[in-house]
Amino acid sequence: MIRAILIAAAAAASLPCSAQVAERTSTLADQQSVAVTIYNENLALIKDVRRIALDSGDNRLALREVSGQMRPETAILRSLSNPGSLSLIEQNFDFDLLTPAKLLEKYVGRTVRIARVNPATGAETIEPATVLSAANGVVLRMGDRIETGVPGRIIYDGVPPNLRDRPTLVSELSSKRAGPQTLELSYLSGGLSWKADYVAELNAADTALDLNGWVTLVNRSGTSYPNAKLQLVAGDVNRVREEIRAAAMAPRMAADAATRNMAEEALFEYHLYTLERPTTIADNQAKQVALLSATGVPVMKELVLEGRDYYYRAAAAGAAEKRKVAVFVQFENRDASHLGLPMPKGVVRVYKKDSAGNAQFVGEDSIDHTPKNEKVRLKLGEAFDVTAERRQTDFKRRDASGRNYTAESAYEIVLRNAKSEPVTVTVREPVPGDWAMLEQSHPHRKDSAHVAEWKIPVPAEGTATLSYRVVVRY
């Protein structure tokens, strides 16, 4: 008898604490603070601080309303009020959320009750049924027959313990002391991302612009972060790529009118931006906060005609080729230009006021992460009133023997300006191989090893012609 009691006691001691300890639930009502650091590539670091009462010894703690896209292998739970007092035994992340379909799926092989109402008498009958399948519809065994579909209202005995209404991290742990403790749960999560967007407005003369930068946050993580301390990391952080569950939710927009810009500091080889006030990041929401602003930033507008390197390999067939002239604006990210701030990668949208004072969209371009003292160059579109026509006027092979191929070719580029004021067009010709300029109507600059560049002034409502002859050896 005594031996049997000892065996039973040993067996009970070997059971996990979940079989002996009642589950203690923690919700956002216990939350003391939350900090969210969001990276560029759908990744965030969450630090969730809660005040929770624990028992001395084994505890089973269910932390509700964590991110539905938590990476559980990164989760760390520790006591801030009593460091070293917790020992983690087991951890489970329950992200299979309660829905009618999921509840039915969990009851496959189990008994439910089907309630039906007689339409003639209004009387309700309840009949037991066994769920045989919940895939692509429901299959039930009711008495001596099989039925498909749901013939009435389904009554369940309860909710399975691993089916939660909110994403929940269940931690089985041992505590050295009893009573309330301040716990911090930190983890990495998908479902949170941010990007920078910039709005620039050119002045009337296209010589300066006002620039405002905004950060757009998108939260599809499956939970909200009330009154969060928000930080953003700009930079390309290396990550081991893995498949992360996607949340099929459409964000709703919410404009957050910040009165102050975000504080910025260097962090390792990246830049960290901190919002200087708490903000609530609601689930399934897009939020905008101010990043930076600058006025009177000097800008240079440039009209550019880009050539192609295949021009010089053979004689051109057909008539003259019409080419588009691209429009660029460029400014320097310097203190002297009223800017001088690290600019995270994003899209810059440029506007200009018309004669009635209404701002009109004139183009956009994306920029990469741009540190202080670098240039920002934006292609806004192609000119309407400035056009180009290019034709090959001569071509001859000098040497095609052995490994060498040498060719001499001549070109004429006619630039036309329909504007009422003169313009300057930058012509950039990418010349391949070993080349030398033989003749030219305007002096060129060797911009790089394989680019010849000309600055061609074109009079108002007039034309200008660039002609040159070049020899190329491959």
- What average pLDDT does the segment 266-280 reach? 87
CA distance 138 to 104: 8
pLDDT value at 103 more than 90? no
Q: What is the mean pLDDT of the chain?
A: 87
The DSSP letter of residue 110 is S
pLDDT tens for 12-35 read: 444 444 456 889 999 999 999 999
Name, in order, each residue with C-beta under 8 angstroms of 211's C-beta and a sequence gap of 6 or more: 198, 199, 200, 292, 293, 294, 295, 297, 339
Percent of the chain with pLDDT over 90: 67
Lowest-confidence region among 208-212, 215-219, 308-312, 423-427: 308-312
CA distance 197 to 199: 7
* Protein fold of 302-332+375-473: Immunoglobulin-like (2.60.40)
Lowest-confidence region among 250-259, 278-287, 352-361, 445-454: 250-259
Predicted local confidence at residue 400, as pLDDT: 60
- What average pLDDT does the segment 271-279 reach? 89
pLDDT tens for 396-405 read: 887 766 677 8
- Full strand arrangement of the beta sheet holding 375-399: 434-440, 462-473, 406-417, 375-399, 321-332, 300-306, 423-430, 451-458, 445-448
pLDDT tens for 195-234 read: 999 999 999 999 999 999 999 999 999 999 999 999 999 8
The more confidently predicted of residues 307 and 328 is: 328
Q: Which two tokens stand for residue 437?
A: 């300029």
- What average pLDDT does the segment 105-134 reach? 91
- What average pLDDT does the segment 136-164 reach? 87
- What average pLDDT does the segment 135-148 reach? 90
Tell me the pLDDT band of 162, cut-offs 50, 70 and 90.
confident
- What average pLDDT does the segment 423-434 reach? 94
The DSSP letter of residue 41 is T
pLDDT tens for 150-160 read: 878 999 988 88
Give Cα 103 distance to the centre of its chain. Answer: 33
Predicted local confidence at residue 241, as pLDDT: 59
pLDDT value at 437 more than 70? yes
Percent of the chain with pLDDT over 70: 90
Predicted local confidence at residue 246, as pLDDT: 34
Predicted local confidence at residue 242, as pLDDT: 54
pLDDT value at 254 more than 70? no
pLDDT tens for 62-76 read: 999 999 999 999 999
